[in-house]
Structure 1
């Protein structure tokens, strides 16, 4: 028995395309209450919201809402084909991967390669963003799954741990700490620091120092990992980053020394996350399995094998 009619599929899809009840009603030449009632009935039957309602803003799709509308439009296309067999079919599905900025230089290319190998008929795109934009993208449905640090995520996110990352102190070869094989927060607190401009990342690192009763001075906030490494290599301070590319030179072939920071509370989990507690699309579920097998097996590798 069908509980959702083709008309309701059409109404909900129109709301998703136009972002508001008024614009969808105008396009379909129906009343706003008719659309609102149809949407309420569909969401009530499904048991989860399709849209995020914000006062004074467009109705943003939830991740489940976007998937529902993609499938609803496929149903409408197939129904139309029964009447007009010459209509073209809908294209392949699409996965939108998000990745935290500092993780992307090492992990993005292998992740894309594995997804494309495992899902050859699925289009894969990506966004490399700071933490807050990743979270907004997941909430608004612009990103399906994200690889990021487990920072400040609420219960609306489903996350699976991939591996732990430890921060590194980046110093020039002539720095007095350069000969050490490792270091601690206390060892580097007396030197000027070079942190990222990404707010949550910098706050996290400064929070580590404060929890250990340390109050360092920040000399620079670098807009990219390359700039941070270059400043550290030129003796402008100690860079602190969870990203540690295998190349021992900074931009411009300036030598650089990376020292692991051994404080037990400095380790941070890297997770695979998606938003929403409703049902997850089967293709996204396969993509998550591929990424988990790849990154859990070889978190620092340049290529992965799917088991």
Structure 2
């Protein structure tokens, strides 16, 4: 619990700068007796004597006072900085699910900067849990993401509905199919993303269809999933499908669409319900709908 207020700390700084209770009281627009009483109470709460006050002599600062006054000045500067920052416009941070970011984020930022020249825009990438936390904590204003794991505490504007794809080694028997179903895939070792929200979403999807898949590998990145699939370590399932048919190591990988309708999800613009949605924010949302839909 804080016993001293910032205003009381301003009393101390005024006395230290002017070395006079009378002059400090005049600057602070308080009476000299009330300032004297306030200083005494602050010293009692801090448990140390900050000033040596003698009638007819300038106020002297004790060694303990010098040490504490230095920290108090830092505290007041920090408080002033907080108030100044609330008056200056912060950049608008557009988050994006990291597998979508190479395809969507640069285009979206370019469109916004051209449409709203007076606003500063920044981009941020993250996995589902990263974006959810950043949105909740105000570090990201709006996110472009698959609507996976975002609960009822978020608002969204759907941009498009998509189905997942399967990554396989090109000589896998299923690679010759034009499309695949989750029922067909459940009979083979699968590769899931290791992130809790992503794996939980996929597990729930299979359970709803009364399927019990075998998860052979869990990975953090899309390219690791594609690489393992290309080397025959399992079949990867992802909602992101890079245009290249080669992995980073040059190995070919087959990409086959999954046709199971229950597996569909949306790419959406997502923001917290608790966020203030002023007209300027809604204009950004509308501009992104036009650009990305």
TM over 0.5: yes
Query: TM-score under structure 1 normalisation?
Result: 0.66
Distance 1:23 1:113 in 2: 50
1:170 pairs with 2:167: yes
Q: Deviations over 1:126-181 (max 9, x none)?
A: 22112122111111111100112323444432211111121101001111111111
Q: Give 1:24 shift.
A: 10
Match of 1:204 among 201, 218, 227: 201
Match of 1:247 among 233, 244, 247: 244
Where do residues 283-294 of structure 1 align in structure 2 (5 Å cutoff)? 283-294=280-291
Query: TM-score under structure 2 normalisation?
Result: 0.69
The corresponding residue for 1:120 is: 117
The corresponding residue for 2:101 is: 104
The corresponding residue for 2:6 is: 26
Distance 1:254 1:183 in 2: 22
Structure 1, unpaired ranges of 5+: 1-20, 31-68, 75-89, 297-307
1:236 pairs with 2:233: yes
Where do residues 109-188 of structure 1 align in structure 2 (5 Å cutoff)? 109-188=106-185
**Cα separation, partners in 2 of 1:265 and 1:170, compared to 1, 3 Å:** same
Tell me the number of residue pairs that the alignment of Structure 1 and Structure 2 aligns: 223
Secondary structure at the residue paired with 1:163? strand
Q: Give 1:71 shift.
A: 9.3
Secondary structure at the residue paired with 1:178? helix
Q: Residue 95 of structure 1 contacts residue 284 of structure 1 at CA under 8 Å; is this kept in 2?
A: no
Q: Which moved more, 1:255-264 or 1:279-288?
A: 279-288
Where do residues 76-95 of structure 1 align in structure 2 (5 Å cutoff)? 93-95=90-92
Q: Give 1:116 shift.
A: 1.6
**Cα separation, partners in 2 of 1:172 and 1:286, compared to 1, 3 Å:** same
**Cα separation, partners in 2 of 1:144 and 1:23, compared to 1, 3 Å:** farther
Structure 2, unpaired ranges of 5+: 11-81
Q: Residue 99 of structure 2 contacts residue 240 of structure 2 at CA under 8 Å; is this kept in 1?
A: yes
Distance 1:168 1:24 in 2: 61
Q: Residue 138 of structure 1 contacts residue 274 of structure 1 at CA under 8 Å; is this kept in 2?
A: yes
Secondary structure at the residue paired with 2:107? helix
